[in-house]
Structure 1
Amino acid sequence: MHFVEAEWSRPCYGAPIFRFQQKLKSLKKNLKQWNKAIFGNIEAIVREAEADLLVWQAAAEQNSVSDSVYDTFIQKQLALENALKIKDDYWKQKSGSKWIHLSERNTAYYQALCKVHSSQNLITSLITDDGIVLDSQQGIKSYIVKYFENKFTEQPVIIHEE
């Protein structure tokens, strides 16, 4: 939350809707960088954990007497399970489905689910204050622009000094 507040408090100049758009754009960029720094590339982390596990598995099979090798093998196995859980959680969040399971993310169902999600983010019709239904994208766009221009234009302030 502190990260968002800091980003939102940065000065930006222009019309209110422009400032809002610029702050959102800047916040998105910085959140992506933060996500990359904190979580990294999930696919690369899983591949690295799998490779580490294979190396330590071979070492454990060759040196079955050493407890330290076996303990390291167990740690690598837990690290891989954790990386796979993070990857699975990522895909659950991306799909919006709470019950999608590991290796179901390339199914036709999952792809259809993602398509439905993106189509739900589209405004297909809009009822104006006058009760008129707009269903063309150009009409909706011009109405929204006009609405926010009216809402955020500067109104003169008159101060009566007595």
Structure 2
Amino acid sequence: MWDYLSFVAASHNMPWLIAGDFNELLTTDEKFGGVLECKSEGFRNWVDGNEMIDLGYSGPKFTWNNKRVYARLDRAICNMQWRRLFPEANVQHLPRTTSDHNPIKIKLSSRFVVSLHLRPFRFEAMWMQHEQFNEFISNVWGQAVGSALDKTYYLVQPLKGWNVNVFGHLKKRKACLLARLNGIQKDLCRGSNTFLSKLEISLIEEYNCVLEQEAMLWKQKSRLQWLQEGDRNTKFFHLTTIIRRRRNKIERLKNNEGVWVEEAQDIKGLAMAYFEQLFS
């Protein structure tokens, strides 16, 4: 089966997901009871060799049992392209009724969307690579009054404006630079032009700078500190950020009566009541 699935994976370069009863384990803690058979090596090697990602789950840990042995045999796994295409996709283990397997439900999006105006301010390390950043900070800091903490708070709103109006959106800047380079290189195919050649070099340097800033952005968001400075693997950092956000997202909470609460307002109320009681 693993050889056949490897053939399928090598036959295309598309986003893909495969789900169902694999009848195999990825880790030893996915089984409880009975004799632990080391059958997972082929499955694990296939997942690693084809760079597949387990979507995880919410709900009961095990998806199959015979009243004596419990195991997680059902799952959904995808490749990196699919995960980037559906960053909010998640898997829910549903209650078992007539079968000895739990049904699994794959949802492509989360029911909860965070409003942009509710997002906390984050200082972006990539800003420090901009040639105007130091001068901007010096000017704003000099206008602020009070303690260092007061001045730091004063920086927040000017930084937000500077980010939009001066630093700019990375994706738009990349698209604009590539469009300009495309036009210049088309013109240079018709004949040499000293001005366009120098402009091409300048734009390529600027484009590489944007790539470095983008890599730093996703490196900061991914919170991975173990890679050496200078490594640029934006897709990797982007993917780890998606996976971490998905893992940390709260879709439901259980109240004191043991009932799952799933509506956004009810989850908010339950969390507030818990901490009000905790700190009263």
Where on the TM-score scale, by shorter chain, does this alignment land: which range? 0.5 to 0.7
1:34 is displaced (CA, Å) by 3.0
More helix by share: 1
Structure 1 residue runs of 4 or more that deviate by more than 4 Å after TM superposition: 1-9, 26-30, 116-119
Task: Pick one of 228, 243, 250 that aligns with 1:112.
Answer: 243
The letter of the residue matching 1:41 is: H
**CA 1:113–1:70 in 2, change beyond 3 Å: closer, same or farther?**
same
1:44 is displaced (CA, Å) by 1.0
Task: Pick one of 197, 210, 218 that aligns with 1:70.
Answer: 197
Identity %: 16
SS at match of 2:236: coil
SS at match of 1:50: helix
Higher normalized contact order (CA 8 Å, seq sep 6+, divided by chain length): 1
**CA 1:74–1:116 in 2, change beyond 3 Å: closer, same or farther?**
same
Give the alignment of 1:94-133 within 5 angstroms.
94-98=221-225, 99=227, 101-107=233-239, 109-116=240-247
Scaled by the length of structure 2, the TM-score of the pair is 0.33
Determine whether 1:59 maps to 2:191.
Answer: no
Aligned twin of 2:74 = none
| Native 8 Å contact 2:222 2:238 kept in 1 | no
Work out the CA distance in 2 between the residues paired with 1:79 and 1:8.
36
The letter of the residue matching 1:37 is: N
**CA 1:55–1:27 in 2, change beyond 3 Å: closer, same or farther?**
same
| Native 8 Å contact 1:56 1:76 kept in 2 | no
Determine whether 1:140 maps to 2:272.
Answer: no
Give the alignment of 1:19-98 within 5 angstroms.
28-64=156-192, 66-98=193-225
Work out the CA distance in 2 between the residues paired with 1:27 and 1:75.
32
Scaled by the length of structure 1, the TM-score of the pair is 0.52
Work out the CA distance in 2 between the residues paired with 1:106 and 1:61.
36
1:7 is displaced (CA, Å) by 6.2
1:5 is displaced (CA, Å) by 8.5
The letter of the residue matching 1:47 is: A
1:62 is displaced (CA, Å) by 1.7
Aligned length: 115
Give the alignment of 1:150-161 within 5 angstroms.
none
| Native 8 Å contact 1:95 1:114 kept in 2 | no
Question: Which deviations, in whole Å up to 9, do the C-alpha atoms of 1:89-136 show, x marking residues without a partner?
Answer: 1121122224471233553x43112345678xxxxxxxxxxxxxxxx8
More strand by share: 2
What runs of 5+ residues in structure 1 fail to find an aligned partner? 10-19, 120-135, 147-162
Aligned twin of 1:150 = none
| Native 8 Å contact 2:221 2:241 kept in 1 | no
| Native 8 Å contact 1:95 1:110 kept in 2 | yes
